[in-house]
Chains A and B, each alone.
Chain A
Amino acid sequence: MNWLVPLPVVIPLAAAGLAVAVNQRSRAQRYITVTALFGILAASLAMLVNVSEQPLVVQVGDWPAPIGISLVADRLSALMLVISSAVTLCVLLFALSQALALGDPDSPVAIFHPTYLVLTAGVAISFLAGDLFNLYVGFEVLLAASYVLITLGGTRARIRAGTIYVVMAIASSIVFLIAVALTYSATGTVNMAQLASRIDGIDPGIKMTLEMLLLVAFAVKAAIFPLSAWLPDSYPTAPAPVTAVFAGLLTKVGIYGMLRTQSLLFGEGPADTVLMWAALATMLVGILGAVAQSDLKRLLSFTLVSHIGLMVFGIALASETGLAGAIFYVVHHITVQTSLFLVAGLIERREGTTSLNRLGGLARSAPLLAVLFLVPAFNLSGIPPLSGFLGKLGLLQAGVEAATPLSYVLVAGSIVTSLLTLYVFVKAWNKAFWQPPVEPTPPTRLPPGMLGTASALVLLGVALTFLAGPLYDYADAAARELQARTPYIEAILGVEP
């Protein structure tokens, strides 16, 4: 089944080319994009079923492993691909129905569809990359697409927000590139499998330097405090679907990079302590930032930053239970955070604003919207029995298991963060949904397509609660595979098990 592996990269890139070619005909563009995204989802699901024996590998161009480019799908990659393709598909359908509802389906920005597909391809390359340089290329592909998406239309606010985003992202890419160059210099390879066996042989100081450089590069992408200030400044300005997909996926690609390099290359070490403190600061600073916000989209951006801290906590524990908790939490967070941003998009479409000071009375005037907001909000805050609660419980258990003073501090920090998240959402709920409306807005009907896709994503978040058993088992198996390291290494180097 190895032929499945390149599909999530090849399909969107080919479709992006096609979509550019037919850029005058928006209907054809829509069909191409939707078909491509369904194709990726199908290929990812097929991979998810097939990786249980051993990781799937394709050596691009049939160049043998340490020289050529390897694409590898193990349990972690397959799971990330499935959840990311499901979310990208939902968000695209949301964007399509929004464009159609605006009543002018023939004049969208023609570049949206191809760019969105390239973004999907970049995410897939990052998840499948079997060497460090290819991971860098994957990051660049998705970032280049994201630069275009965040400045879509080139309006004043977006150019302003985009400037911060682009400069920040390029700077972090340069750090990543330096890390790749130094890794090659120190070990003579950038292939993950070869690196894993060689990196223990080099000077510990140099190893530490490489680890820190990579962590800084990933931390900027994942928006970990103190490298997170760019995110709440830039995300809220983009169109609602773009913000949703960025919030769901792009930060998680940074988290994936950390998961992969920390477990495969560096293992336990002093960097874990640094990560622990960074996780704590990210959680608390993020959520305190959210408390101060009066705009729903910015508030959500801050909760996004805050909950990245929980995943970093799981990675920093460097134990099997910690990694499993982090993997489960990533899946939960991608789904829930994206649906919250979509609901914010719905509110903006209905009321023309997301400022909590102007919204009001939505619980009465739009009861469905209220439900769509409340369910993922409770889910993110970790109200039992929703998946957010299960993910947090797993992380807390892993923290208690580690039983170091620092891990207890982080356990306490996570609980405080969850409670503050609940406080933030209750505050937002009171203002936007319960307080008497500031000025009565004329009732608008939301397009059923937008409501439908947002509901689908909210339901997916709820479904994760019911699927939590099998999903947690899968995350456990993925974490075991990460900790064992050998299946991944042997798969890349082509050693028969």
Chain B
Amino acid sequence: MSGVPGPDLFLVIAAAVLVTGGAYLVLERSLTRVAVGLILIGNGVNILFLITGGPRGGTPIVGLTDEADMADPLPQAMVLTAIVITMALTAFLVAMAHRSWQLYRHDEVQDDLEDRRIARLAAIETASGRSEATWITLDEEAAAVRDETADITEEHWLAEEDVR
């Protein structure tokens, strides 16, 4: 049981792989994939917590294990809290993805409307000053990509919903 010096190399590799894979998924546009990515990262960090406890040992309960052989119980307590928190937040994210799917029939993280508007303004300003149309303007680019936000009118965007 005891006597393994330092952290387990496999645990370190597992944590690194989980966090790397998670980071890749978080950069996706689909909220479901982002959620999966965050679950992976969360689990990677939980493993990191196990590593911080030092070498493995016996169950840290007085009477079951000799005190010298016990594992460090504090990271275990912290990891439990972290697991609960990650689970709750994942549930919320998934619920949000579902709601997004109900509303839009997709769950993509969308561009900000005002950002788009300002990008268009900038594009119009540069367009009026340029001579040769050798490059594509932001405006043309915005027109070319699928505009997930186009179906929201400004009225809707600014409308005050009676929520309480």
- A binding-site residues for B, Cβ under 8 Å: 95, 98-99, 102, 104, 108-109, 112, 133, 137, 140, 144, 147-148, 151-157, 159-160, 162-164, 166-167, 170-171, 173-174, 177-178, 180-182, 184-185, 190, 232-233, 239, 292-293, 295, 298, 348-349, 352-355
Contact = CB atoms under 8 A, between A and B. Distances in A.
A352 B152 contact: no
A163 B96 contact: yes
A182 B163 contact: no
- Interface size range of chain B in the complex: 35 or more
Contacts of A178: 45, 48
A76 B156 CA distance: 43
B164 to A, nearest CB: 4
Nearest to B77: A133
B125 interface: no
Nearest to A352: B160
Given A233-B112, A292-B118, A352-B158, 4 more contacts: A98-B164, A140-B89, A156-B156, A184-B74
Interface in B66-89: 74-75, 78, 81-82, 85, 88-89
A180 B78 contact: yes
Contact of B163 (A177, A185, A239): A239
B92 A144 contact: yes
Contacts of A95: 164
B93 A166 contact: yes
Contacts of A156: 103-104, 152, 156
Contacts, number: 117
B115 A233 contact: yes
A153 B114 contact: no
Contact of A184 (B31, B75, B85, B103): B75
A148 B48 CA distance: 29
A159 B45 contact: no
Contacts of A162: 96
B51 interface: yes
A181 B93 contact: no
Given A95-B164, A159-B99, A174-B38, A166 B115 contact: no
Contacts of B85: 137, 140, 144
Given A174-B42, A298-B114, A153 B160 contact: no
Given A133-B78, A155-B161, A181-B48, A166 B152 contact: no
| Chain A CB within 10 A, most for which of B89, B118, B159 | B89
Given A156-B156, A171-B26, A181-B45, A166 B162 contact: no
A147 B164 contact: no
A153 B48 contact: no
A108 B162 CA distance: 8
B49 A154 contact: no
A247 B134 CA distance: 44
| Chain A CB within 10 A, most for which of B74, B118, B162 | B162
Contacts of A352: 158-160
Contacts of A185: 51-52
Nearest to A169: B89
A298 B114 CA distance: 9
